[in-house]
Amino acid sequence: MIVGSISENREIEKRIAITPDVIKKYKSLGIEVYLSENYAAHLGINDKQYETEGATVLKSDEEVIAKSDAVLQMMLPNKDNLSKLSKEKILIGVLNPYLNNDILKNTISKDVKCFSLELLPRITRAQSMDILSSQANLAGYKAVVDAFSFFQKAIPMMMTAAGTVSAAKVLVVGAGVAGLQAIATAKRMGAIVYATDVRIASKEQVESLGGKFLTVEGSENLETEGGYAKEASEDFKEKQEELLKETLKKTDIVICTALIPGKTAPIIIKKNMINVMQSGSIIYDLAASQGGNSELTKVNEVVDNNGVKIMGEANILNKLPTSASNLYAKNMFNFVSNLFNKEKKSFEINLEDEIIKKTMIT
């Protein structure tokens, strides 16, 4: 069996699905790896490195798709490449079926089996494949580093002969994987960190990292069985808004990470709340690509609202593509390994397997 991967659209996605260090893992299963020419040249990885590990490098995307039983990607390929996928081939990636519904319907109608890794169930057996966790972890770290680079004051408290510099106050909105890493990173750099989340279970996690959890009075636990956040009631939103507005008056940096799978990101930081923030403060919105947690967020722009800067990256991991690719490639291998029948040496769509059933797009 053969797995292949073609170059992504590097203007919007620099991560890759196959790195040199996973080639031998595929070959140990009896799976060959085909890649398009200059597949990872933008990351400083040349074709020779792949060939040394045992991969085959082909001249064109078309050739890779034609010869591969499964095509492994980061993003959904463009329409031209999708049209080249023939019957019974497999496509695996972050396909975002909620946004790409019509395109995927057409692909699936040709009996192409499509698997979207962001739909993985949060079960113990799927942890090694969990791309949301591996990628969000890096995103939370990078958001803090970027926000601090824009902030024009020192982060930790400093006591000098000339006087004391106060520690920066950071608020993290959403305490999932990205939020928890943001808390940990900000604390390591000396900030005072507050956090809020609709899931009550996250309180203990926040406090274990040294953060102070902001609890909405009479709050309900808004967590799905799968461990994700679900939409809050209007009453909760009103109470949360009052609490955040008071907190934001003394906050220097806000890191927004709140997302609901398959839906537009909830607007948590409204304009009237931003208006009470001190000039020079920063809002870094990791939810920008899904609409943003801040009412003023614009994708790939820095918005200035009376001296408060609101930053929204479409894909923050394009700033850490090598680290992100290394983790993603391992997640991908673990998923492919689960899909591969090692005795029959072929891919097997076992819909009794929760991992396969939940990620397959029908």
Catalytic residues: 122, 127, 130, 133, 228
Q: How many CB atoms within 10 Å of residue 238?
A: 12
Query: CB–CB of 315/138 below 8 Å?
Result: no
* Tokens 């085959």 belong to residue: 56
Output the CA–CA distances (angstroms, integers) from residue 245 to 10, 144, 216, 317, in the order listed: 39, 21, 12, 30
Output the CA–CA distances (angstroms, integers) from residue 350 to 133, 340, 354, 358, in the order listed: 25, 10, 9, 11
**Do strands 340-341 and 308-312 pair parallel, antiparallel, or not at all (unpaired)?**
unpaired
Q: In a 3-state reduction of DSSP, which class is residue 239? A: helix
Q: How many CB atoms within 10 Å of residue 106?
A: 13
- Amino acid identity, residue 90? I
Reported as half-sphere exposure (CB side, CA atoms, 13 A), residue 100 has a value of 21
**76 burial type by CB count under 10 A (0-12 exposed, 13-18 middle, 19+ buried):** buried
User: Which letter does DSSP use for residue 291 in this model?
Assistant: T
Output the CA–CA distances (angstroms, integers) from residue 45 to 19, 27, 321, in the order listed: 9, 20, 12
Q: Can you tell me the distance from the alpha carbon of 240 to that of 243, in angstroms, rounded to the nearest whole number?
A: 5
